[in-house]
Amino acid sequence: MGAIGGDESVQWDKMNGAEVVNGGGSGAGSLDRIQVLVRVRPLSDKEIARGEPAEWECINDTTIMFRSTFPDRPTAPTAYTFDRVFHSECSTKEVYQEGVKEVALSVVGGINSSVFAYGQTSSGKTFTMTGVTECTVADIYDYINKHEERAFVLKFSAIEIYNEVVRDLLSAENTPLRLWDDAEKGTYVENLTEVILRDWNHLKGLISVCEAQRRTGETFLNEKSSRSHQILKLTVESSAREFLGKDKSTTLV
């Protein structure tokens, strides 16, 4: 569900039980690690009304089992193991605290991280990622408030990918954007809007704008299903206040 630099490249500042990166962010690619988490959603009202059984069962915190309910395709139960498995009664807060928080908060220490949801239509991707986003940003602002010795700047951008077309969700224009590879910048989207955030409420408003602009449609499983991919990017820059404006000033990004 995400990737961060390995433990060898960072030092952790354990603050009120929260693990936050406190070291440099120059870990080599060999130290990157990817974690795969699985969250099982409960049956929907429609599925319950149709009498459909649950085919997935969480055996423990890392193992999930599939039992086919199709009489014409009987198969033996199959177990799969992942870094973490969350049963249908787990809240999004639990998913964030136990599986995402360490990855998400690594950005305050200058480490790039990514958290994304993958699954079929109506599997709960938007629901889960909305909650994860809220928890992540709340914790980032909490970290900022507790570290007044550093000056922080947060920037936000958002894109939608629909039918192989990239669109700026913070722009009223519907013009497709171009994707470029640059030796210094890496992969970037040309002419993408990037907004400097004032506070948490400002970001909430921008996310609402993004949700309103996303393409949705009705499916057999979901009356209002997201029909596109959405990517939210939060850039966190910080500098030690005592060195601001001086030659020794360095910025973590």
Q: What average pLDDT does range 58-79 have in this prediction?
A: 83
The per-residue pLDDT for 1 is: 46
Q: What average pLDDT does range 243-248 have in this prediction?
A: 72
The per-residue pLDDT for 226 is: 58
Residue 202 lies in a domain: yes
Residue 14 lies in a domain: no
Residue 54 lies in a domain: no
How many domains, in total, are found in the chain? 1
Task: For the beta carbon of residue 85, count every other beta carbon within 10 angstroms.
Answer: 23
- Stated as kind and residue range, the H or E segment containing 204 is helix 200-213
Residue 164 lies in a domain: yes
Please check if 123 is assigned to a binding site.
yes
- The residue segments making up the domain with residue 217 are 90-243
The per-residue pLDDT for 9 is: 33
pLDDT, tens digit, 9 for 90 and up, residues 151-196: 999 999 999 998 889 999 999 888 899 999 999 888 889 999 999 9
Please check if 44 is assigned to a binding site.
no
The answer to whether 198 and 102 have CB atoms below 8 angstroms apart is no
Residue 28 lies in a domain: no
Residue 75 lies in a domain: no
Please check if 121 is assigned to a binding site.
yes
The per-residue pLDDT for 122 is: 81
**Residue 30: exposure state from Cβ atoms within 10 A (0-12, 13-18, ≥19):** exposed
The CATH number given to whatever domain includes residue 137 is 3.40.850.10
**Residue 98: exposure state from Cβ atoms within 10 A (0-12, 13-18, ≥19):** middle
Strand 12-15 versus strand 18-21 pairing type:
antiparallel
Please check if 122 is assigned to a binding site.
yes
Residue 12 lies in a domain: no
Residue 27 lies in a domain: no
